[in-house]
Structure 1
Amino acid sequence: MKRFACQSCEQPLFFENTHCDQCYAVLGYMPETATLAAMQPQDSGLWKTVHDCHDQPRAFCANHNYNVCNWLLAPFQHNGGFCFACQFNRVIPNLNIPGNMDRWRKLEVAKHRLFYTILRLKLPIKNRLQDPQNGLAFDFLDDPVDGSLPIMTGHNNGIITIATKEADDAHRERMRVEMGEYYRTLLGHFRHEIGHYYWNVLIRDGGHLEECRTIFGDDRADYALALKKHYARVPSGNWHEDYVSLYAMSHPWEDFAETWAHYFHIVSTLETALSYDMTIGPVADGQALLTHKSDPYLHMPFDQIISAWMPLTYAVNSLNRSMGLADFYPFVLTAGVRAKLRFVHNIVRNMQQTYAA
């Protein structure tokens, strides 16, 4: 994530801010330029950036009315439409249920961060109108009131279901402990499930299926049976050698999705560190490996990404421990895991070069 500052007063901002805490300027995010801009209202009901009188007026996403989205529409879009990120919503939480407004807000924060990374990586994406069979859509669902089977987070041919209850910290932490997970966050759910979507787009339909099978295993293995076996067995002590998480062992699809999510974790967090001019790590040729001139999304070679990532995780894990908190990054990137991450990196970079050409 980039570092943002208010264009009116230079106050540091977070990606999710809708108003500047210092000068109270209304803030709007422009996805095409990855800019969080201070906005001023126009008589037409539209908005313009504070410092560019020649900028075309724009409307906020319709979900701005609910205080769950700060993204602006493209200049040619009319007031009342949905922004690039919110156009993929198919079902939102039932707002008549107490607490769901806050849950939806948390879900949108995580989802918009996901779309920030998708746009920065220049990944191809289609909504359900563009591709009725496999296009991307999100369903944020509540458990049935009749006590029937609870909603499970998952992916099915482009439809990503996120259980609304995952926005409750207590529930999510309880599930993390029960499932024996090191890490469970809303953003992690989004990054994992979008990995399944991109397995369809970039692997199955992108000509990389056989290559992927040599790295992650044969995806034709019975999925339901694989999950049943996974939850019934006691994991071996050396599972870290080839898998980034315990759940990645369950099936090649899950292995790919977990690895994909971790690639998103890495490039997003590295960009944040670089934007704050962090220079943690060993020195090579007189310069620190973390340099603000690097771009992990588009230009940083894989080996440089890993060389920068490892000392960064040690530093931040140490900071967390100094505060009595759990490790920021409780994972081990062994040679086997790095080979899988390199595969994901190469697929993404090859796609970027193909679309650039």
Structure 2
Amino acid sequence: MKSYTCRVCGNRLFFENSVCVSCETPLGYSRAERDIVPLDADDRTYTDAGGVVWHVCTNLGLSGCTWLTTDAGGLCFSCGLTRTRPNDADLEGITNYAPAERAKRHLIAELDELGIPILDRTDDPRGVAFDLLSSVAEPVTIGHADGIVTIDLAEAEDAHREKVRAMLDEPYRTMLGHFRHEIGHYYESFLITDDDTRARARELFGDESEDYQAAIDRHYAEGAPADWQQHFISQYATMHPWEDFAETWAHYLHISDSIQTAEEFGLLRPAPTASFRERVTKTWMPLSTALNMMNRSMGYDDLYPFVLSTPVLDKLDFVAGLAADAAAGSVKDSSAGDVEPESGA
């Protein structure tokens, strides 16, 4: 995460701040400026340098959203991507809805920082939308299908999530991790659009045309191969090439965000331009080892309990290349031409 500063008093701010605790200025997050901006104390609006008036998202009270929109009384870009949410009578679902939306805002802010395009499905059929569903009344399966990401809001509850994590023998399970993984499925179909890229993806991850349900059944019946750490980032990644790609994409975002945060807060000096692979081997590996030791010093599990083998580094490098191409606007689509990154909210 970035380190933000109050434009009024210079106090340090954090991503979800709705008011400066030092000078009490009301605040909002401007996606267009990628910054936290001060709001007018009377009408809670922000006027940018171009004279455009911005309003706080109508979900401020419901989910704590501080993002700005040009539509008075409307939803911000992030909240607008949510296609389905719990109804107001579902108190448990609504309680879990807020941390889910917070994780989604984190995801979108990181994608913006990386320059990766995020298309709104209401404006573009190739876009993404989110169903944030409550499993109070019926089971919810987390997943992605044709641009729709489904999240089980029960995963916002620590006890539930930890129970599932232990049951599945996972070293890591968070709401943000779910969003990063599922959006990876979306970007695989969005960014791999030509034969050469598809061929390279199959070399690294395997043939994605393999029967998915059969792969699921095999994985839960037999588990991961004994030597899985030599080739995969996680046991779940061994299930099917789609899952391997999504897990790799999630770790690309984990690592990118963590390095930026360490630089923003003075734990690392900003490094000169280097390949993502070099950033991983020369910066992330030593940093994550140190952070793991810090966690152990406090009696916690490792912060980053993963082994990055050479095949995994190859996969991460491939994903980082796809992301860089997307940021450069060089993603091809046979029906729509080049896909250009969005620049504003």
Q: TM-score, normalised by structure 1?
A: 0.87
In structure 2, the residue matched to 1:82 is 75
Compute the displacement of 1:32 (Å). 1.8
Matches within 5 A, 1:55-74: 56-73=52-69
Whether the 8 Å CA contact 2:231–2:309 is kept in 1: the answer is yes
Mapped pair 1:99 → 2:92: yes
Partner amino acid, structure 1, of 2:270: H
Partner amino acid, structure 1, of 2:68: L
Compute the displacement of 1:277 (Å). 2.2
Which deviates further from its counterpart, 55-64 or 82-91? Answer: 55-64
Which deviates further from its counterpart, 193-202 or 79-88? Answer: 79-88
Which deviates further from its counterpart, 303-312 or 203-212? Answer: 203-212
With a CA cutoff of 8 Å and minimum separation of 6, indicate the structure with the bigger relative contact order.
2
Cα deviations across residues 157-191 of structure 1 (Å, max 9, x unaligned)?
Answer: 00100011111110000000001100000000000
How many residue pairs align between the two structures? 331
Which deviates further from its counterpart, 342-351 or 233-242? Answer: 233-242
Change in Cα spacing, 1:115 to 1:300, as seen in structure 2 (3 Å) is: farther
Compute the displacement of 1:93 (Å). 2.1
In structure 1, the residue matched to 2:115 is 122
In structure 2, the residue matched to 1:203 is 192
Whether the 8 Å CA contact 2:18–2:28 is kept in 1: the answer is yes
Cα deviations across residues 289-339 of structure 1 (Å, max 9, x unaligned)?
Answer: xx2365xxxx54223311110111011111111111111101111111101
In structure 1, the residue matched to 2:253 is 264
Whether the 8 Å CA contact 2:46–2:53 is kept in 1: the answer is yes
SS at match of 2:192: helix
Cα deviations across residues 101-144 of structure 1 (Å, max 9, x unaligned)?
Answer: 33111001100000011111211232222234x42110111226
Whether the 8 Å CA contact 1:4–1:12 is kept in 2: the answer is yes
Whether the 8 Å CA contact 1:94–1:142 is kept in 2: the answer is no
Partner amino acid, structure 1, of 2:228: W
Separation in 1, partners of 2:306, 2:196: 30
Mapped pair 1:250 → 2:243: no
Compute the displacement of 1:350 (Å). 2.2
Change in Cα spacing, 1:206 to 1:130, as seen in structure 2 (3 Å) is: farther
Separation in 1, partners of 2:271, 2:224: 42
SS at match of 1:127: coil
Matches within 5 A, 1:217-228: 217-228=206-217
Compute the displacement of 1:17 (Å). 1.5
Whether the 8 Å CA contact 1:46–1:79 is kept in 2: the answer is no
Change in Cα spacing, 1:340 to 1:152, as seen in structure 2 (3 Å) is: same
Partner amino acid, structure 1, of 2:5: A
Match of 1:333 among 293, 303, 308: 308
In structure 1, the residue matched to 2:279 is 305
Partner amino acid, structure 2, of 1:12: R
Mapped pair 1:319 → 2:311: no
Change in Cα spacing, 1:249 to 1:152, as seen in structure 2 (3 Å) is: same
Separation in 1, partners of 2:326, 2:117: 9
Compute the displacement of 1:235 (Å). 3.0
Compute the displacement of 1:207 (Å). 6.2
Change in Cα spacing, 1:275 to 1:300, as seen in structure 2 (3 Å) is: farther
SS at match of 1:160: strand
Partner amino acid, structure 1, of 2:36: L
CA RMSD of aligned residues (A): 2.1
Structure 1 unaligned segments of length 5 or more: list them: 280-290
Separation in 1, partners of 2:240, 2:271: 38
Separation in 1, partners of 2:148, 2:122: 13
Whether the 8 Å CA contact 1:46–1:57 is kept in 2: the answer is no
Mapped pair 1:143 → 2:139: no
Mapped pair 1:292 → 2:270: yes
SS at match of 2:24: coil
In structure 2, the residue matched to 1:283 is none
Cα deviations across residues 249-307 of structure 1 (Å, max 9, x unaligned)?
Answer: 0000000000000000000110001111223xxxxxxxxxxx2365xxxx542233111
In structure 2, the residue matched to 1:27 is 27
Runs of 4+ in 1 over 4 A off after TM superposition: 52-55, 204-207
In structure 1, the residue matched to 2:224 is 235
In structure 1, the residue matched to 2:104 is 111
Whether the 8 Å CA contact 1:93–1:164 is kept in 2: the answer is no
Change in Cα spacing, 1:205 to 1:124, as seen in structure 2 (3 Å) is: farther
In structure 2, the residue matched to 1:48 is 46
Compute the displacement of 1:204 (Å). 4.3
SS at match of 1:140: strand
Cα deviations across residues 50-100 of structure 1 (Å, max 9, x unaligned)?
Answer: xx8885431111212424211112xxx220222121111101123312233
Change in Cα spacing, 1:261 to 1:267, as seen in structure 2 (3 Å) is: same
Separation in 1, partners of 2:162, 2:133: 19
